């Protein structure tokens, strides 16, 4: 089978992109079968699927209809989109734009104003119950959600409306997955995650600040191949990417085990590439694929650049104490020690005064017994 | 509450409360004990007490003649788990980091594998002393709830710490949080149980030795 020779369905390619298969789309883009198979193998290996699955993925993807995707950006910084688009593996990561029909995305769409909103409404109408909803950013709940609006409507309102017809929801980034930075104390906008609001749709959380581009691609490939979401952990994240901690897969792990730690960012230990635990690395409690998948086309990841992991793919990472405090150190300064010392000493003195009074009373109440008393 | 929130709680609020109770309770007990004083002894000292107090501080660590044979497990296991606890608490790099944060003092640590092995030995000997306490009629008769509570409060931090570092039973985040929580329970209850002996041990040995010397039984 030579899919890139397949004819393009011209009639459907504009109005109803869902009818166009991925194979057609790739052919249109001039992507060779070799490159495509390489991509499928990479995806299968990333998701820890058996080797034979790559062919299955390839066959399924070629025949897969490109689903309509509506991408809603709420309280976010666009870092998630930046991460995706500025990935240094365009042949791999840009496929996200070939695998799907991205019908609404603030940053990437050409249309604006009413035209933009219309394309969202059209997609919702035409593919009701079939489109994928991608959300990045948290949703403000305080004061009726006025802190973030799009086209005059609150994020909450928009989310409810678009979620209704979605086949599944992909929460991209820590804000959409867990509330993220807007949710950090004192959370002035009352920011919450998608899963706090939508309860009746399958939701997959791709956390990270930003998340690894290949993880988004992998989840989409999985969805197109198997028609469902991959196995998730207890926080709704795909296990194949978030199943292990950064620490477990860190190349500096041997130094941790040997007790060799960098004490400052420019000491001998840091120059020798020793473990960054004491400088606040949160790798031991952070589940993500950075240490294996890496960033910037496999160049490196934060720890490889000499900085500890911030734990950005975990809920409440912003409120877990200083980024530069080791995990075994207090997350906040001790508050009660001085007061407790004074109270403890005072209690001790008070009790000892009580003891002395008791002793004194016993002494004064003591009656001497005489021989006559005893002989009575 | 998810594991991450739980961990942050034990690293902040929980630690605050536990150290607060620990400092309050320890100062209370020590001030109370050392201010008890003693009745003025009107008798002439039978023997110059000399260094009897200091001698006793050391000699109580050595089994009296014949005792080692009768209760070898108590002595050997007792030494092993106390030294084990010392190594785990004070020579594990992560613990040193915590103590450095709290006190400003730091010293070199030992490799994780060594600490791991020490933890296993410590856990095993602690189980051994518990089994002996339960099996030997005299020890069982002398044991109160406080003895078992003190054992559990000491055993749990070692067990959870080992499980956390070896990634056993529960995910690391949850087990680390449980480990810190178990240490906080230990800190909060230490002043009010027999575990206060970490502070009173040397003082009470000196007191007894000195009093015995005064009565004419110097050691």
Angle at B181 between CA B180 and CA B182, to 5 degrees: 90
Mean pLDDT of A176-191: 95
Indicate the range of A30-44, A134-148, A304-318, B177-191 predicted with least confidence.
A30-44
The residue whose two tokens read 């699955």 is: A53
In this complex, do B19 and A284 lie within 8 Å of one another by their Cβ atoms? no
**Which two tokens mark A187?**
């959370």
What pLDDT, on the 0 to 100 scale, is given for residue A215?
Answer: 85
What pLDDT, on the 0 to 100 scale, is given for residue A60?
Answer: 78
Q: For residue B81, give the nearest of B144, B142, B150 by alpha carbon.
A: B150
Cβ-proximal residues to A252 (8 Å cutoff; 6+ apart), any chain = A273, A274, A275, A276, A303
- Overall residue count recorded for chain B in this entry: 219
Residues 132-191 of B with CB under 8 A from A: 167, 172-173, 176
Residue A201 pLDDT > 60: yes
Phi-psi region of A227 (alpha: psi -120 to 50; beta: other; left: phi over 0): left
Q: Looking at the domain assignment, is residue B111 inside a domain?
A: yes
Indicate the range of A77-91, A108-122, A186-200, A245-259 predicted with least confidence.
A77-91
Q: Least CB-CB distance to B12: which of A326, A330, A343? A: A330
Query: What's the total number of domains in chain B?
Result: 1
Angle of helix B13-34 relative to helix B3-11, nearest 10 degrees?
30
What pLDDT, on the 0 to 100 scale, is given for residue A3?
Answer: 42
What pLDDT, on the 0 to 100 scale, is given for residue A307?
Answer: 96
Q: For residue A180, give the nearest of A43, A48, A312 by alpha carbon.
A: A312
**β-bridge pairing A68-73 and A166-172:** unpaired
Residues 49-88 of B with CB under 8 A from A: none
- A229 close to A178: Cβ distance less than 8 angstroms: no
Most confidently modeled range among A322-336, B57-71, B86-100: B86-100
In this complex, do B113 and A257 lie within 8 Å of one another by their Cβ atoms? yes
Q: Looking at the domain assignment, is residue B58 inside a domain?
A: no
In this complex, do A334 and B19 lie within 8 Å of one another by their Cβ atoms? yes
CATH number of the domain within which B88 lies: 1.20.950.20
Q: Closest approach of chain A CAs to the CA of B63, in angstroms?
A: 35
Cβ-proximal residues to A88 (8 Å cutoff; 6+ apart), any chain = A296, A297, A299
Task: Quote the radius of gyration of chain A (alpha carbons, Å).
Answer: 30
Chain A interface includes B91 (CB < 8 A): no
Name the pLDDT band for B7 (thresholds 50, 70, 90).
very high
C-beta neighbour count of B59 within 10 angstroms: 14
Residue A237, Cβ density class (10 Å: 0-12 exposed, 13-18 middle, ≥19 buried) = buried
Domains of chain A: 1-62 (no CATH), 64-241 (3.40.50.700), 246-359 (4.10.480.10)
Name the pLDDT band for A8 (thresholds 50, 70, 90).
very low
Identify the closest residue of chain A to B101 by CA–CA distance. A329
Chain A residues with CB within 8 Å of chain B CB = 235, 245, 247-248, 256-259, 261, 277-278, 284-285, 314-317, 319-321, 325-332, 334-337, 339-341, 343-345, 347-349, 351-352, 355
Top pLDDT among A34 and A5 is at A34
Mean pLDDT of A344-362: 92
Q: Which of B4, B22, B100 to mutate to test the interface with A (most CBs of A within 10 A)?
A: B4
**Which two tokens mark B129?**
């002393």
Which residues pair with residue A232 across a beta bridge? Answer: A238
For residue B30, the chain A residues in CB contact (below 8 A) are: 348
- The Cα B87–Cα B178 span in angstroms is 21
Q: Least CB-CB distance to A259: which of B2, B7, B110? A: B110
What pLDDT, on the 0 to 100 scale, is given for residue A82?
Answer: 84
What pLDDT, on the 0 to 100 scale, is given for residue A154?
Answer: 96
DSSP A263-282: SSTTSHHHHTT-B-GGGT--
Q: Closest approach of chain A CAs to the CA of B66, in angstroms?
A: 40
**Residue-number span of the structural domain to which B165 is assigned:** 3-32+68-215
- The Cα A165–Cα A125 span in angstroms is 9
Q: Looking at the domain assignment, is residue B11 inside a domain?
A: yes
C-beta neighbour count of B205 within 10 angstroms: 19
Q: Looking at the domain assignment, is residue B153 inside a domain?
A: yes
Question: Which helix (H) or strand (E) covers residue B68, if one does?
Answer: helix B67-70
- The Cα A73–Cα A139 span in angstroms is 10
- A52 close to A98: Cβ distance less than 8 angstroms: no
- The Cα A168–Cα B109 span in angstroms is 50
Q: Which of A244, A343, A348, A360 to mutate to test the interface with B (most CBs of B within 10 A)?
A: A348
For residue B99, the chain A residues in CB contact (below 8 A) are: none
Judged by DSSP in three states, A180 sits in: coil
Mean pLDDT score of chain A, rounded to an integer?
Answer: 86
In this complex, do B17 and A332 lie within 8 Å of one another by their Cβ atoms? no
Q: Closest approach of chain B CAs to the CA of A222, in angstroms?
A: 26
Name the pLDDT band for A93 (thresholds 50, 70, 90).
very low
- A107 close to A73: Cβ distance less than 8 angstroms: yes
pLDDT in tens, B21-34: 999 999 999 999 99
| pTM for this model (two decimals) | 0.82
Which residues pair with residue A204 across a beta bridge? Answer: A170
Q: Which of A331, A333, A357, A366 to mutate to test the interface with B (most CBs of B within 10 A)?
A: A331
Residue A222 pLDDT > 50: yes
Cβ-proximal residues to B67 (8 Å cutoff; 6+ apart), any chain = B75
Identify the closest residue of chain A to B4 by CA–CA distance. A315
- B174 close to B141: Cβ distance less than 8 angstroms: no
For residue A257, the chain B residues in CB contact (below 8 A) are: 111-113
Residue A173 pLDDT > 70: yes
The residue whose two tokens read 């795909």 is: A238
């Amino acid at each position: 089978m030579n899919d890139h020779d397949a004819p393009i369905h011209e009639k459907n390619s504009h109005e109803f992109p869902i009818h166009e298969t991925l194979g057609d789309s790739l052919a249109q883009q001039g992507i060779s079968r070799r490159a495509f198979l390489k991509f499928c193998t990479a995806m299968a290996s990333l998701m820890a699927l058996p080797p034979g699955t790559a062919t299955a993925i390839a066959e399924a993807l070629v025949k897969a209809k490109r689903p309509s995707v509506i991408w809603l950006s709420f309280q976010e910084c666009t870092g998630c989109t930046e991460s995706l688009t500025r990935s240094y593996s365009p042949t791999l990561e840009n496929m996200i734009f070939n695998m799907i029909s991205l019908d609404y995305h603030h940053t990437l769409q050409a249309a604006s104003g009413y035209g933009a909103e219309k394309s969202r409404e059209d997609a919702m109408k035409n593919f009701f119950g079939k489109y994928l909803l991608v959300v990045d950013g948290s949703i403000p709940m305080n004061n009726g959600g006025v802190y973030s609006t799009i086209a005059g409507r609150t994020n909450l309102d928009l989310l409810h409306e678009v979620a209704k017809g979605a086949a599944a929801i992909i929460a991209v980034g820590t804000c959409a997955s867990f509330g993220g930075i807007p949710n950090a104390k004192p959370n002035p906008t009352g920011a919450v995650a998608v899963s706090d609001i939508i309860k009746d749709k399958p939701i997959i959380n791709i956390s990270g600040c930003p998340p690894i581009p290949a993880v988004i691609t992998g989840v989409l490939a999985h969805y197109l191949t198997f028609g469902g979401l991959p196995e998730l952990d207890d926080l709704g994240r795909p296990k194949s990417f978030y199943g292990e901690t950064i620490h477990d897969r860190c190349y500096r792990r041997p130094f941790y085990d040997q007790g060799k730690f960098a004490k400052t960012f420019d000491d001998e230990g840091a120059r020798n590439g020793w473990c960054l635990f004491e400088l606040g690395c949160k790798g031991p409690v952070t589940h993500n694929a950075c240490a294996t998948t890496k960033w910037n086309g496999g160049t490196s990841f934060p720890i490889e650049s000499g900085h500890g992991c911030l734990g950005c793919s975990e809920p409440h990472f912003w409120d877990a104490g200083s980024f530069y405090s080791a995990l075994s150190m207090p997350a906040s300064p001790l508050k009660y020690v001085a007061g407790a010392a004074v109270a403890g000493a005072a209690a001790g003195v008070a009790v000892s005064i009580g003891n002395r009074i008791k002793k004194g009373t016993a002494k004064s109440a003591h009656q001497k017994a005489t021989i006559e008393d005893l002989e009575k | 509450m998810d594991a991450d929130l739980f961990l942050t709680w034990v690293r902040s609020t929980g630690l605050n409360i536990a150290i607060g109770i620990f400092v309050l309770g320890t100062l209370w007990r020590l001030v109370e004990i050392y201010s008890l004083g003693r009745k003025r002894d009107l008798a002439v000292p039978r023997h110059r007490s000399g260094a009897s107090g200091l001698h006793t501080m050391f000699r109580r660590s050595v089994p009296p003649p014949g005792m080692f044979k009768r209760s070898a497990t108590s002595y050997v296991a007792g030494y092993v788990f106390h030294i084990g606890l010392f190594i785990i608490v004070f020579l594990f790099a992560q613990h040193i980091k915590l103590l450095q944060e709290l006190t400003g003092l730091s010293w070199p640590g030992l490799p994780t594998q060594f600490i791991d092995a020490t933890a296993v030995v410590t856990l095993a000997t602690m189980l051994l002393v518990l089994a002996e306490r339960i099996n030997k009629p005299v020890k069982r008769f002398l044991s109160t709830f406080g003895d078992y509570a003190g054992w559990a409060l000491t055993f749990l931090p070692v067990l959870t710490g080992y499980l956390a570092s070896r990634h056993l039973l529960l995910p690391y985040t949850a087990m680390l949080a449980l480990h810190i929580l178990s240490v906080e329970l230990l800190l909060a209850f230490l002043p009010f149980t027999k575990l206060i002996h970490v502070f009173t041990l040397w003082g009470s040995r000196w007191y007894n030795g000195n009093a015995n010397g005064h009565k004419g039984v110097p050691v």
